Structure 1
Amino acid sequence: ECILYMENQIQAFVLISSIALAHFVLIGVYLIIRLKLNDLLLKKSEGKLKNFNETLQYMVAEKTEEVQISEKKFRNLYELNKEVLENSPAGIIKLNRKHEIEYMNQESFLLVSSDDEETNDLHGQLISQIPQFNRAGWASLFNQLKKGKEIEGEETFLHKANKAIVKIKGVPIFEDSIYSGSVLLLNDNTESIIAEEKLRHSFTMLQKATEDIIQAMAYTSEIRDPYTAGHQKKVCELAVAICKEMKVTEEQLQGVRFAAMIHDIGKISVPSEILSKPGKIGVTEFEVVKGHSQTGYELLDRINFPWPISKIVHQHHERLDGSGYPTGLKEDEILLEAKIIAVADIIEAMTSHRPYRPALGIDIALEEINSNRGTFFDPNVVDACVKIFNNGFQFSE
């Protein structure tokens, strides 16, 4: 029994040992398989990593090239802009938020620098320290810039004894809604202003010469008719007053003024014995007198006035209903300037002495135009004429 027990123990030990050995073998096999799998996975990952690295290197190289191209373009654009700014005919000054000068091109430096600043660098200097911008009013304008408002001004700059009239415009700059500075644009308007002054002077001289010529023509026509001496001048005076009351354009007013001064110039073709005849003239004689409108037109139409003077003179005896002369025009066919002179002509004639009658007085003259308001005479012109007399208008002596 003892021997049998021992055999059983030995068999059990062998069995357990076999099982343990088999277990260790399985573990070994598992570890070998796991190592092989890890090796395969590692090699596969290395391949992917290599591909990723190659792709990443390609992308980096591509982006680097793009950045280099962009930098080159930016440098070229910067150089181009710099050249444009430096060669700009306008002065350009860039200010920071403290209104210190960050940049100024050559033109702006030439405009603002004085003789003793030829070699000095104005960068970093407060704009208010420059004499041209240290005058009354500029502090307020610069404050407007900080509030986001554009500004405009004009200054006279002196440089090497030369005077420049400079127009200045300021434009604010904001970054993220915060004021970061401004740009000042300086334009030298000296030549254009001088040219405008010369043109204005030339126009004034031309207008004066035109007026002198017209006055000489008026004087010539009145020499032959002493009874109407001063008539054209007074008609002009009243016609201009009517124009102002009606608020016509300045161009129309000037046309009326010059036309009124010579509206009867055609009477130089009327025999003096008819013009100075005492008493009422006959039908035939009146037809001769009526011809003065046509004669005046033919004389003046040869002159290239800037106003329709010949037409105004031609139409100043036309009436709204077509009963006037020389062509029987109606309503809107008649120039407004001629309608104004027509009323002024009647008023002055009726209030002045004539060879065939004494002066009739202003009341009768105003009654005449009122009774023919809308028939012979333009209602607006009549109303304006009556109003200025009610306001105290009087002919000058």
Structure 2
Amino acid sequence: MNWKRIALGILILSLAAGVWGFLMLLNNGQQMLGLGSFVVWGLWMTLYVFFASTAAGMFFIASLDLLFKVKTFAGTGKIFMLASLTSLGAGLVHILINEGRPERVMNVFLHPNFDSVLAWSVWIYTLIALATAAILFVLFMPQKRLPFPKEPVVKWLMILGFPVAVIASGAVGFTLSTQSSHSFWSVGLFPVLFPIFGMSAGFALSRIIVALYGDKKSPGYPRLARTMVISTMILLLAITYIIGSVLFVGIYDATPPTIEAANYIMFGQYWYGFWIVQMGLGIVVAMAALITILVKPGLSKKPAWGLSVGVLVLLGAAVARLNFIIPAQVVAGADFLSSPIIDSRYIDSYIPTLPEWALSAGVTAAAILVFYMVARMMKLIPVRIGNEETGNE
């Protein structure tokens, strides 16, 4: 079975679906979305959060090579930084198509209101995008074409970009925590939860990249694979603890909206998303696979194992964003009502429409193809573990 052809076929179909979804958006506007009367942040907002936090996680992992010079990650900095920028691009596309008038985003730069956390988030993500693009520009440019040595410039760009990436990883958590109308979000753990989600997604994506494109003959490959397995396990355990803490606080907070939101996540309309996908596949099954790889190191050289674990963790991380963003809006909206609304236009739930899924699939496929083509063009594949990234080539 030719897996490359199957993967290419899936990507082409996803792109076609994305084109159809985009045409539907152009023809019907926001009416094609399945947003409810109170749920104004849906699938696209959730995927924006997912891709943006994954980008921050990939930036951290790339810094292990480019900034901190950790030998285990030597040779991975360029391709991980490229994955960071690609993921951030996919996230920004999702947030732009989510806006009814995306051109008005310029107002955040021309007339910023820094009393708003959302304004800070836009500026932070813009800065991290510029920093990542600048780092990649220097890395990809041949030394003879640059009027300065690469390594110190990359180092200083990484030093400047690293704190911005730290803030960016928790930006969504800060945004949600300051929404006083949604008491379930007003938990101090949210700014901590989202960076850990981003790190776990970053390690999952990096594991996929190394499994598919890493040079298995490199002497540093087994050590890198083992480090990634252990790091992902630790992050999954941390996520499990924090999720449990958030739900525990929500249930015992004694505030009706927080109790309802916690119950909605676990037993509401999307209970299967929490128990089966997020906790079952994304944590339990992924953890079992990671333990198996740890016990049998030879499995780390089989792409199917690394790919499967990475996809499971990424899937769980993506669904986790849905589970934390959607229910709080449903419950908060109902809580504000002094009496039930009797109107055919009233929608008290949210189910993403087919065009929403299609356009998201297309954006994701486009991001994957752009990443692969640039990585091939810049000769980043195969990933040679142990090579220095900022040499004088």
TM value normalised by structure 2? 0.20
* Greater relative contact order structure (CA < 8 Å, 6+ sep): 2
When the two structures are superposed, what TM-score results if normalisation uses the length of structure 1? 0.20
Question: Which structure's CA Rg is the greater one?
Answer: 1
Structure with more helix by fraction: 2
